[in-house]
Amino acid sequence: MVRRFVPALTPARARLALLALALGGFGIGATEFVAMGLLPNLAQDLLPGLYADSPTVANARAGWLVSAYALGVVVGAPTIAALAARFPRKKLLLVLVAAFTIGTVASSLLPSFGLVIAARFVAGLPHGAYFGVAALVAASIMGPGKRGQGVALVLSGLTIANVIGVPTITYLGQVTSWRIAYLAVAAIFAATFVAIAYLVPFQPGDPDATMRRELRAFGRIQVWLALLIGAVGFGGFFAVYTFISPLVTEVTRLGPGFVPVVLVVVGVGMTLGNFLGGWTADRNVMGSIFTYFGLFVIALTGLALTAQTTVGLLGFVFLIGFAASALSPAIQTRLMDVAGDSQTLAAAVNHASLNLGNALGALLGGVTIAAGFGYVSPTWVGLTLCAPGIALAVTALLLQRRRVPEPALAPV
C-alpha cells in the first residue's frame, strides 16, 4: 500500500488547523443550541393553532425539535464511525460538514413542523462522527499525552458558540425570524468546509479498521458504563437548557431581550468548564467525573431553589454550564481509555450518549411542563437524572479496581 507523506506542521500551521476544527464545533454548537433560545418563536410559527390555545403546551411540543436532532446524533455517531473508520480523516470531515450544511439549510426552509423535525434529525446524523474524527485529528496534531486537551480544543468551538454564536444568532432570530437564524448557521458550516479544506493536513484513516473491530467496543462493560454515565447524567443539562427561554421570561420574569444574556452566561461557564475538564482529564479521569458530577448536583439544586431571582438564575446557570461541559472531555477520554482498538467509534459514540441525554432531558422536561408542574420542573428532572449517573460512575470505578476482565465480543 502506498502511503501519502504527511509533513510535520509548523506551530502556526498546527494552530490554524486546530482553529478550523474548532470552527466546525462552533457551527455544531450553534445548530444544536440555537433552538433553545428561539423555542417560543419556533412554537408560534410551526404550531400556531396549539400556541394560540396553550403557549405552554406548544413550547413543550417544540422541544421535540431538540430531541429529534439529538436522536439523529444517537443514530449517526456509531453508524458513520463504524463504516468510515478506514476513510482518510480530512475527506471524511469535509463530507460531514457538507451534510451539516445541507441539513441546516433544509431546517430553515421546510414549511411544516413534521418536516422540520425530520430535517433536524438528518442534521444531527454527522454530529458525533465529526467530533469523534476531529478529536482524533486534534490529538494527533497535539502529540502524546494531550488527548484530553485535544478533545477540549475541538469542543471549545461548541462552548464558545454558546458565548458568542448562540446568543447572537438567537437575537438575530428574534428580530428577523428563526429561519434566518438557521441560514446564518448554515453559513458557518460553509465557512468551516473552506477552512478544513485549506488548513487541516491530510490524515489517513486506519487501514486495519473494520466494522467488526470497531463494534467490538460494545462488548466491553466499561464502554457501556461510560456511555450510560454520559447519557443519563448529561440529560440534566439539556432538561434545563432546552427550556431556558421560558424559564427566563416566565419564572424569573425578565424580558425576552434578557434571554441572550443568560445564554452568554451559560456559554462562558461551558467554555471555562471545557478547558478545565480537558486539563484535569489528562491527569485523573475518574476523579474529574466525580468532582464535576458533585458540582452539577449543587448547581441544579441551587437553580431549582433560586430561579425566581436574577442573581440565582445567572449564578447557577453558569455553574450548570461549567459542570456539564467539564464532564464531556472527561467522559470522552474515559471512553478512549476503555475502548481498546475501537478508537474511532469510541471518540464518536460519546456524542451519541450525550445526545441521548439531550433527547431524554428535553423529553422528560417537556412532559413535566405539559403536566402543569411549571418551567422549574425540568431542573428537578435533571437532578433526578444525576443520581443514576453517579451510581454508574461508582460501578465503573469499583470494577476497574477489581480488574474485572472484559468479555470478548461474540463473533459476527
**What are the tens digits of pLDDT across the range 363-400?**
888 889 888 888 999 999 988 888 888 888 888 888 87
Task: Inform me whether the pLDDT recorded for 199 exceeds 80.
Answer: yes
pTM (2 decimals)? 0.71
- Look at residues 158, 160, 156, 154 and name the one whose alpha carbon lies nearest to residue 139: 154
Q: Are 135 and 347 in contact (CB under 8 A)?
A: yes
Q: Are 228 and 127 in contact (CB under 8 A)?
A: no
Choosing among 1.20.1250.20, 2.60.40.10, 3.40.718.10, 2.40.10.340, the CATH entry for 11-402 is: 1.20.1250.20
- Predicted confidence at residue 408, as pLDDT, reads 43
Cα 367–chain centre separation: 22
**pLDDT tens string 320-349:** 999 988 888 788 778 777 776 666 676 677
Mean pLDDT of 248-262: 88
Query: Looking at the predicted structure, is the pLDDT value of residue 288 above 70?
Result: yes
pLDDT value at position 301?
A: 94
Q: How far apart are CA 280 and CA 283, in angstroms?
A: 5
In which band, very low, low, confident or very high, does the pLDDT at 314 lie, cut at 50, 70 and 90? very high
pLDDT digits (tens, 9 = 90+) for 149-192: 666 777 778 778 877 888 889 889 989 999 999 999 999 999 99
8 A C-beta contact, residue 225 and residue 395? yes
Torsion from C-alpha of 111, 117, 121, 122, nearest 10 degrees:
-10
pLDDT of residue 95: 93
Please tell me which of 20-24, 88-92, 283-287 the model is most confident about, judged by mean pLDDT.
Answer: 20-24
Lowest mean pLDDT among 44-58, 221-235, 255-269, 313-327: 221-235
Most distant CA atoms of the chain, gap in Å: 65
Residue labelled with grid coordinates 507523506: 5
pLDDT band at 144 (very low <50, low <70, confident <90, very high): low
Q: CB atoms < 10 A from the CB of 145, how many?
A: 9
For 81-108, write each residue's pLDDT tens digit: 777 767 888 889 999 999 999 999 999 9
pLDDT of residue 208: 63
Q: Give the Cα separation of 78 and 355 in Å (integer).
A: 12
List the grid coordinates of 4. 501519502
Give domain limits for the chain.
11-402
Using pLDDT thresholds of 50, 70 and 90, give the confidence band for residue 354. confident
